[in-house]
Amino acid sequence: MQKKVISEIVQSEPSLIPIEVSGWVRTFRSNRFIHLNDGSTIHNLQCVVDFENFDEALLKKITVGAAIKVTGILVESQGQGQSVELQVEAVEILGEANPEDVKLTILSPKRHTLETLREQAHLRVRTNTFGAVMRVRSKLSFAIHDYFNKNGFNYMHTPIITGSDAEGAGEMFRVTLLDPKNPPVNQDGSVNYEEDFFEKETNLTVSGQLEAETYAMGLGKVYTFGPTFRAENSNTSRHLAEFWMIEPEVAFNDLDDNMDLAEDFIKYIIHFALEHCEDDLVFLENRLLEEEKSKPQNERSEMSLREKLKFVLENNFIRVSYTEAIDILRNSAPNKKKKFKYLIEEWGADLQSEHERYLVEKHFKCPVILFDYPAKIKAFYMRLNDDGKTVRAMDVLFPGIGEMVGGSQREERYDVLKEKMKAMDISEEELYWYLDLRKFGTCVHSGFGLGFERMVQFVTGMGNIRDVIPYPRTPGNAEF
Question: What distance in Å separates the CA atoms of residue 418 and residue 140, rounded to the nearest whole number?
Answer: 39
Contacts of 376 (CB under 8 A, 6+ apart): 348
Q: Give the CA-trace dihedral at 327, 333, 337, 340, to 10 degrees.
A: -70
Question: What distance in Å separates the CA atoms of residue 331 and residue 427, rounded to the nearest whole number?
Answer: 41
Question: What distance in Å separates the CA atoms of residue 366 and residue 206, rounded to the nearest whole number?
Answer: 29
What is the per-residue pLDDT for 302?
81
Closest CA relative to residue 450, chosen from 409, 411, 395 = 395
What is the per-residue pLDDT for 169?
60
Question: What distance in Å separates the CA atoms of residue 73 and residue 12, rounded to the nearest whole number?
Answer: 12
What is the per-residue pLDDT for 295?
84
Which domains, from first to last, does the chain contain? 2-105 (2.40.50.140), 128-171+206-467 (3.30.930.10)
CB contact at 8 A, 260 and 319: no
Angle in degrees, CA 439, 405, 454, rounded to 5: 140
Beta strand 202-204 with 174-175 is antiparallel
- The number of CA neighbours under 13 Å toward the Cβ of 314 is 7
The alpha helices in 234-254, defined as continuous H runs, are: none
DSSP letter at 391 equals E
Closest CA relative to residue 265, chosen from 279, 251, 246 = 246
The alpha helices in 186-230, defined as continuous H runs, are: 209-219
Alpha carbon separation from 88 to 40, 53, 73, 346 (Å, rounded): 20, 10, 7, 71
In angstroms, how far apart are the furthest CA atoms of the chain?
Answer: 85
CB contact at 8 A, 167 and 207: yes
Determine the 3-state secondary structure of 115 from DSSP. helix
Element containing residue 273 per DSSP (H, E): helix 255-276
Element containing residue 246 per DSSP (H, E): strand 242-251
Question: What distance in Å separates the CA atoms of residue 106 and residue 97, rounded to the nearest whole number?
Answer: 13
Question: What distance in Å separates the CA atoms of residue 395 and residue 103, rounded to the nearest whole number?
Answer: 47
pLDDT (tens place) for every residue of the chain, 480 residues total: 799 999 999 999 999 999 999 999 999 999 999 999 999 999 999 999 999 999 999 999 999 999 999 999 999 998 788 899 999 999 999 999 999 999 889 998 888 999 999 999 999 999 999 999 999 999 999 999 999 999 999 999 999 999 877 666 668 999 999 999 999 999 999 999 999 999 999 999 999 999 999 999 999 999 999 999 999 888 888 889 999 999 999 999 999 999 999 999 999 999 999 999 999 999 999 999 999 888 888 778 888 999 999 999 999 999 999 999 999 999 999 999 999 999 999 999 999 999 999 999 999 999 999 999 999 999 999 999 999 999 999 999 998 888 999 999 999 999 999 999 999 999 899 899 999 999 999 999 999 999 999 999 999 999 999 999 999 999 999 999
Sheet holding 161-162, edge to edge: 161-162, 202-204, 174-175
Instruction: Tell which phi-psi region holds residue 135, choosing left (phi > 0), alpha (psi between -120 and 50) or beta.
Output: alpha
Task: Count the neighbouring beta carbons within 10 Å of the beta carbon of residue 273.
Answer: 24
Question: What distance in Å separates the CA atoms of residue 456 and residue 234, rounded to the nearest whole number?
Answer: 20
